[in-house]
Amino acid sequence: MQANKQDVLKRLNYIEGHLGGIRKMVEEDKYCVDILRQTYAVRKAIEKLESLLVEGHLHGCVPEGIASGNGEAIIEELVQLYNLAGNR
């Protein structure tokens, strides 16, 4: 992984903590809309984490892979990632 490991782990901690809070709300039968506001916040946090991982990959593995002759496979992966990221 090329992204900063401490930063990625900090974001994972935040997401896991947030999910624990959502579990508590579900167990206590809180109002659906309040739970949904929290799940949307978690989704945004995961998208931010993805953005960080993608940025690390683009700055690290992509130029390295192309320089070392694996360009075609690296580019094919980027096409797949783009489509996965957009649920396409």
Q: With CB under 8 A, what is the number of residues at the site for its own copies? A: 60
What is the per-residue DSSP string for 61-87?
HHHHHHHTT-HHHHHHHHHHHHHHHTT
C-beta of 24: minimal distance to its own copies in Å? 10
Q: Is 42 in contact with 4 (CB distance < 8 Å)?
A: no
Task: Provide the binding-site residues for its own copies, judged by CB under 8 A.
Answer: 1-3, 5, 8-9, 12, 15-16, 19, 22-23, 25-27, 29-33, 35-37, 39-40, 42-44, 46-51, 53-63, 66-67, 71, 75, 77-79, 81-88
